[in-house]
Amino acid sequence: MIKRTLFFGNPAYLSTKNEQLVVNFPEEEKLPATVPIEDLGFVVLEHPQITITNGLMAKLVQNKTAVIGCDRQHLPCSFLQPLTGHSEQTERFRYQLNASIPLKKNLWQQTIAAKISNQAAHLIERGYNAKKLQRWANEVRSGDAENHEAIAAAYYFQHLFSHLPEFSRNQKGVAPNNLLNYGYAILRAVTARALVSTGLLPSVGIFHKNKYNAFALADDIMEPYRIYVDALVYEIEKSGEEVEELSKTIKTDLLSIPAIDVVIDGKKSPLMVAMSRTTNSLYECFLGSSRKILYPTYSEYS
């Protein structure tokens, strides 16, 4: 079942009754609205004048609903996650923490090869030559010691947005960097939610190790999925829509990311479902029952 995403951009009072999320609008003459909590996968809280009860937060966490808070720039900046995300959590933590360095390097190699392959497929779909990316994807070695990820990313973005002469991929750069930032933040929350539900620590990465990063593993595992954000942002920008500001329409489009159809292991499924398959396959690698992470394969037919 595809979980719903709710976005709150206006003042609201959120509470719960009879296993429903109840929405009251204090500044508008609207009747309260209700949504079954079991249907919710993501709740995005953008407006500073939103009040949410502790009872509702507890039920959302128990339902493994990702509650995402936004900052003054309207960008996602926080993620509420449960203390217990899986019945075997302690045992799964142990396997994750005991993962060997060679295993982590192999997993990172798989991750970057999948990411670059997807970047190549996306450029080909847009009519660009991607032979270099295809070659680099096959040349990624254990731990990506030669840093093919950075080399490929520079080449990829240079060509993908070549029609925008001032563009370079930078968090504080010109549009559509703002759209990419927002989309990646949503994708990061999707990844963290799947990791927690699988019983893994999102803060302990296989490559990212910054001690200030609470979502290092999420940043690792989301890499091959970034392509779906890129593709959506490309379509929005090419449509002629104004992208200097994150309009309500653009946010609505970007909040559809969890429900985008992707192809994983030869089968089509919503991105949030595919992400759970990826995180479960990662656990199997930590467990030792598998050596391969399942990642999506980008296709124009996704």
125 annotated ligand binder: no
149 annotated ligand binder: yes
3-class secondary structure, 296: strand
Distance separating alpha carbons of residues 236 and 241, to the nearest angstrom: 6
E-only strand ranges, the chain: 4-8, 12-17, 20-24, 33-36, 40-45, 50-52, 66-70, 76-80, 261-264, 267-270
Distance separating alpha carbons of residues 84 and 259, to the nearest angstrom: 25
Q: Which helix (H) or strand (E) holds 237?
A: helix 226-238
Distance separating alpha carbons of residues 213 and 225, to the nearest angstrom: 19
One DSSP character per residue, 188-201 reads HHHHHHHHHHHT--
223 annotated ligand binder: yes
Q: Binding site: residue ranges?
A: 149, 208, 223
Q: Binding site for Mn(2+): residue ranges?
A: 149, 208, 223
